[in-house]
Amino acid sequence: MWKFILRRLLVMIPQLFLLSIIVFMMAKAMPGDALSGQEINPRANPAELDRIREELGLNDPWYQQYLRWASNAVQGDFGISYTHKTPVMDVIEDRLWNTVFLALVTLIFTYMLAIPLGILSGRYNDTWVDKTVTGYSYLGFGTPIFIFALIMLFVFGFALDWFPSGGSVDSKVDEGTFAYVVSKINHVILPALSTALIATTSTIQYLRNEIIDNKIKDFVRTARSKGVPESKVYSRHILRNSFLPIAAFLGYEITGLVGGAVIIETIFSYPGLGQLFLSSVSLRDFSVVTAIVMMTGFATLLGTLLSDIILSAVDPRIRIE
């Protein structure tokens, strides 16, 4: 196992190197640079802006800029945000934990809803229970997340006023207090639940299909022929094997939620990495953009490794050498 993990970590090095080149080149291919937005200001001195570009190395060839950027990035220094006038990692750190918290709460809601619904749908397939759950799944598959999120925001954020309609915490509470924790939870429930109600659909279908498929396997028939109680047949044989694909996709789910929160964070004005990424692109703050994309890519590679490790741990038939 440890040899496998070490090999995968070593393979990540050229993958991250290739990703860094692609990200850097795409950022440089975008029109303008970090100082272009200041030229809109009539008071901006073009000569002064040119001098700053020269000092920052923005006029250097792309490969010199890349080597300078990559050497600093390896040390955890992604430069200075031209928009926020602070180090990029300081800007990202303020938003990173909000996105991670949103992803974890969404994941909890997703599995709290998907696992019992998937079990009911698979165990009682072709009944009204299965048809109801399947209908909900099809509705979730066909509903765009941004439309559903807007409906949730209007109903529970504005019409009923049950949850805050924006932000991540009430500005009136002090950090570190119990009221601060309650406010953080209260602000994250609506965006997390909006995402989870759509994200459950695929998990429900995976689990349902696995249960239906395992119910007719030979090892289940053998267990029943030996007189094993039906409850143990489901818990020890059917469910245990049906959870394997769910466990395998856990790492992908986590990284997908962290990296795919752009729409939800924008709709709910939730200050996370997704919202920061969009604003940085529009403001041509390339230092922040490249840092976020690199962090998301690294998290995706770790999520892939985590899925393989979990699958090996829960399935004794699989041994990663």
- Residue 59: the pLDDT is 65
Q: Going residue by residue through the chain, which has 321 residues, state the pLDDT in tens, using 9 for 90 and above.
A: 677 677 777 877 888 888 888 887 777 776 665 555 554 444 556 666 667 666 666 666 777 778 877 887 887 777 777 777 788 888 888 788 888 888 888 888 988 888 888 888 888 888 888 888 888 888 888 788 888 888 888 888 888 888 888 787 877 777 778 888 888 888 888 888 888 888 888 888 888 888 888 777 777 777 777 777 767 777 677 777 777 767 666 666 766 666 667 778 888 888 888 888 888 877 777 788 888 888 888 877 777 777 777 766 666 555 555
Nearest-angstrom CA–CA distance, 95 and 258: 11
Q: Is 80 in a helix, a strand, or coil? A: strand
Determine phi and psi for 80, rounding to 5 degrees: -110, 135
Tokens of 165: 């309609």
Q: How far apart are the first and last CA of the chain?
A: 6
Bridge partners (DSSP) of residue 80 are: 87
How far is C-alpha 93 from the chain's CA centre?
A: 16
The answer to whether 170 and 183 are in contact (CB under 8 A) is yes
Q: Which amino acid is at 246?
A: I
pLDDT score, position 55: 65
- 3-state class (DSSP) for residue 139: helix
pLDDT of residue 54: 67
pLDDT at res. 284: 75
- Rounded Cα gap, residues 240 and 84, in angstroms: 50
DSSP state of 237: I
What is the spatial distance between Cα 195 and Cα 282, in angstroms, rounded to a whole number? 25
- Structure tokens, 111: 């599995």
Using only the alpha carbons of the chain, give its radius of gyration: 24
What Cα–Cα distance (Å) separates residue 105 from each residue in 67, 220, 274? 39, 35, 16
The token pair that represents 190 in the structure block: 């609506």
CB atoms within 10 A of CB 40: 7
Strand partners, 87: 80
